[in-house]
Every structure is written in C-alpha cells, then in structure tokens.
C-alpha cells in the first residue's frame, strides 16, 4: 500500500507540474502584453465598464431602433428614430438631452399606436443642427391614407429648436396635447393635419412661423 501511495503521489506531481508551469508562463505573457499594449488594454477595460453600465444598471435596448429603455426606472432615454409602438404608457426619463435627426429622415420620435400616452415627465429635448419633426403621431403599420393615430396623449414635453414640435399627422382623431413647452420652432409649435376632435390644453409655444397650425 505504501508503494502504491508513493506512485500515486508521484504521478499526480508529474501531471500538475507542467500545468503550474504553463499557467505561470501564461500569466507572465499576459502581464508583458498588458505593459506593452497599454492602449488596447485601456480600450478593453472601457468596453467592459460600458457593458456593466448598460446591462448592470438595467438599461437595455428596446425593440424599436433608436429607443433605449431603462428597465430600472421604466422610461426611455431619447434617441433618434425612437419608435414608440408597443407600450400603452411610455415615459421619457427626466433630464435635458441634446439630440438631433442624425440620419436626416425628417423626424426624431414617432408615436405609432392608438390610445398611447407619451409622458416626457418634464424632459427637455434640445435639437442641435437639423430641424425635424420632434414628435410625430403616425401609424407606420397602416397604408395611406389610414396612417392616422387616434386617442393618443402627448404631455409634459419640453422641445427646443425643432422644426415642428409636435405633429398630429393626417387623419388623427381625439388626440390630446397637454402641458408641453415648445420653444424656437422653425416652423410650427404644434401641427394638426386634417385631424378631428383633437385637444390642445395648456401648451406654451414660441415659433418663427406658426404657433398652432391647423391644416
């Protein structure tokens, strides 16, 4: 038994020694790589930090392009091409955001569902260089001329330097715009395009052309 135990220990030692040697060699190589490639290491660390920030804090990308949904606070961080289509009550995370129509498609945020409520919660959208429709009600899933949105509410939004602050697109019905502030709109503060029974309540608007434009 003693001889067998000695053989077992000898075999175990002979197996583990190369592993330890290889592992130490790997650590030495890694440390040399980190020292030599400081910039690459810095980039990798920053990417890891961003990953932890977005996914560890509950911020995840929504189904629609552009929207960033903060799951922890149940609100959206505004970004270009933000399609709000699948949530009955959508909220913008409070704060001030410098934004732009980066792809130059003419609009920034699209509300596309009947009966939806968009509550900006006092968030401020400041547009930088282009002047798109800041918020447009438009049913992207329907065919013209049935692209209207009905029974929607847009409230508590602060919009600065947009072309048109809020647009109720062709055929909108029974939509409500309440407690919004639109400043320095280059075209209209609020545009109602062939809409019926829509309500505009307690909005503050300053624009270069028209405050509330009814077509």
Percent of the chain with pLDDT over 70: 64
CA distance 83 to 140: 9
**Per-residue pLDDT reduced to its tens digit, 6-51:** 343 334 444 444 545 555 665 566 565 556 565 565 566 666 655 5
Q: pLDDT tens, 46-78? A: 666 555 444 443 333 333 457 788 889 999 998
pLDDT at 12: 40
Residue 168: closest CA among 142, 135, 145, 201: 135
Angle at 67 between CA 172 and CA 93, to 5 degrees: 90
| Residue reference for tokens 């798109």 | 132
pLDDT at position 117 is 92
3 state DSSP class of 144: coil
Does residue 200 register a pLDDT over 90? yes
Q: What is the pTM of this model?
A: 0.67
At residue 131, φ and ψ (nearest 5 deg) are -130, 75
Q: For residues 31-53, b (16+ Cβ closer than 10 Å) or e, as one string? A: eeeeeeeeeeeeeeeeeeeeeee
Summarised one tens digit per residue, pLDDT across range 115-135 is 889 999 999 999 886 778 899
Supply the angle between the helices 2-36 and 38-56 in degrees, to the nearest 10: 100
């Amino acid at each position: 038994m003693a001889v067998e135990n000695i053989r077992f220990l000898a075999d175990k030692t002979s197996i583990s020694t190369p592993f330890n040697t290889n592992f130490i060699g790997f650590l030495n190589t890694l440390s040399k790589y980190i020292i030599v490639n400081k910039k690459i290491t810095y980039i990798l660390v920053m990417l890891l930090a961003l990953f932890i920030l977005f996914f560890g804090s509950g911020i995840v990308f929504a189904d629609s392009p552009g929207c960033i949904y903060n799951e922890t606070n149940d609100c959206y961080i505004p970004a270009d091409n933000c399609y709000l289509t699948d949530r009955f009550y959508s909220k913008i995370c409070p704060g001030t955001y410098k934004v732009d129509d980066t792809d130059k498609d003419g609009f920034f945020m699209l509300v596309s569902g009947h009966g939806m409520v968009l509550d900006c919660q006092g968030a401020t959208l400041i547009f930088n260089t282009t002047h798109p429709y800041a918020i447009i009600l438009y049913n992207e899933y329907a065919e013209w001329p049935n692209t209207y949105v009905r029974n929607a509410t847009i409230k508590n939004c602060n919009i600065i330097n947009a072309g048109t602050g809020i647009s109720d697109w062709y055929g909108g019905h029974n939509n409500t715009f309440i407690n919004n502030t639109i400043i320095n709109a280059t075209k209209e503060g609020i545009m109602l395009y062939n809409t019926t029974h829509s309500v505009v309540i307690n909005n503050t608007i300053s624009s270069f052309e028209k405050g509330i434009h009814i077509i």
